[in-house]
Amino acid sequence: MKIAGYLVMCFLCMNDLSAQQTNTTVGIVERLGQTIPMNEELYDENGNLVSLKSVINKPTILMFVYYKCPGICSPLLTEMTKIVDKMDLELGKDYQIVTVSFDHQEKPDLSRDKKENYLTELKKKVNPDGWRFFTGDSESIHTVTSGAGFYFKKEESTWLHAGALIAISSEGKITRYLYGIKHLPFDVKMAIYEASQGRPGPTIAKVMQFCFSYDTEGKRYAFDIVRVSGVLTLGLVGVFVVVFLVRPWLKKGKKIE
């Protein structure tokens, strides 16, 4: 029975748990384009009460977990360390990660331990300030999670919740949801690029944003063949006009002279 119950819980947790109704009790209601409550205050890993506005100042991957989770939270955090190692973006400079516990009973000492554990797992040397771990009281947590469209529910000694990464801009605007535990580093990188729109960025980032778009059905970024084909078609038309129309006309004009 315990195994069966655990499997049911895992199924609920690992499912996207997306929903369109605002009365959702467990899952995610996408709030793309909306801004999370940036003035809300949470406790950082050092026990300091800080506002999200003072922390989020660059493209951010927001993660809602609870640190004592027996299910998907630890694998999700571990997967994040692998993504950080594989991406050619610099944590703390190009982007940051903000992890928030939605269990109001968890305190800063636990978030500090978790931060140390996961930073230790990284093979790449990073700025520790690039990945922050937070806790908070029930009211603050509810305000932040609801603002992000993240809903969870207590069931006996565990929490039912979804697994996802939420990309937000430096102003706190939600730009993308990436569902599940496993994520391609490329997808996370593209989500960070999307979150950085409005800020000066490398040319390659702009090219990638143009060539790849998010597939809402496949839940990943895919090559936008229609957009790229359109540009190539226009380019070929331009070449045709220059080679077969403009150039002969210019030559003809020179001969008349």
- pLDDT tens-place string over residues 18-62: 444 445 688 999 999 999 999 999 999 999 999 999 999 999 999
Q: Average model confidence (pLDDT) for the chain?
A: 80
Asked whether residue 198 is domain-assigned, the answer is no
- pLDDT tens-place string over residues 197-241: 854 444 333 444 444 444 566 655 454 454 445 444 544 554 555
* Pairing of β 60-65 and β 96-101: parallel
Say whether pLDDT at 146 is over 50. yes
Most confident of 52-56, 69-73, 185-189: 52-56
pLDDT at 254: 53
- The count of domains in the chain is 1
Asked whether residue 228 is domain-assigned, the answer is no
Asked whether residue 249 is domain-assigned, the answer is no
Average pLDDT over residues 64-93: 96
Asked whether residue 208 is domain-assigned, the answer is no
The CATH number that applies at residue 156 is 3.40.30.10
Asked whether residue 101 is domain-assigned, the answer is yes
Q: Which H or E run includes 49?
A: strand 49-51
pLDDT interval class at 141 (50, 70, 90): very high
pTM above 0.75, yes or no: no
Containing structural domain, residue 54: 2-183
Closest CA to 43 of 128, 100, 86, 3: 100
pLDDT at 157: 85
CB atoms within 10 A of CB 232: 11
Asked whether residue 195 is domain-assigned, the answer is no
pLDDT at 210: 44
φ and ψ of 49, to 5 deg = -85, 115
SS3 242: helix
Say whether pLDDT at 250 is over 70. no
Asked whether residue 145 is domain-assigned, the answer is yes
